Structure 1
Amino acid sequence: MHLYQNKKDTLLYLLYVFPIILVFSKFLAEILILVTLCYLILFNKKVTFQIIKKDFFFKSFLVYICILIILSFFSADILPSLKRSVSYFRFIFFIIFIKYFFLTNEKRFINFLLITSLFLIILSLDIFFQFFNGKDILGHPSVSEGKRNSGFFGDEFIAGGYIVLFFFPCLLLSNINKYKNIILFLIIIFPTTIVITGERSSLFLMFLGLILSLPLLIRDKRLSIALISSLILMTLTINFSSNVNNRIIQTTISQVTKGFDNKYFQNKEFVKEYDENSINNKKNRIGFLNSGWGAHILTAVEIWRDYPIYGSGLKTFRKLCSNEKYEKIKSLNFKNRCATHPHQIYFEILSETGVIGFFSIIIIFIIILNRMFKILIVNKKEYSSILVLFTPIIIKLWPLTTTGSFFSNYNLILLSFFIGFVLSLENLDINKLTKFS
Structure 2
Amino acid sequence: MTADTFARRAGTDPETPSTTAQRTQFRPNAKYVLLLGMMCALPAISNDIYLPSLPDVARDLHTSATAAQLTMTAMMVGGAIGQLVIGPLSDRFGRRRPVLIGVSLHVVTSMLCAIAPAIGTLIGLRVAQGFFNAAATVVAMAVIRDRFVGADASGLISRLMLVIGIAPLFAPSVGGAIAGQWGWRSVFAALGVFGVVLWVVVWRRLPETLPAHRRRQGGLRTAARGYATLLRDRHFVALALMPGLSTAILMSYVVGSPFVLMEGYGLTSHQFAMLFAINGIGLVGGAQVNAMLVKRVAPIRIVRVVLPVSLALTLGLLVLALTGAGGLAALLVTLWLILAMVNFAPPNASAIALSRHGEIAGTAAAFIGATGAAIGGLISPLSSLLGGDALAMAVVMVGSATAALLVLALATPAYRRGGAWTG
Higher relative contact order (Cα pairs below 8 Å, separated by 6+ residues): 2
* TM-score normalised by L of structure 2: 0.29
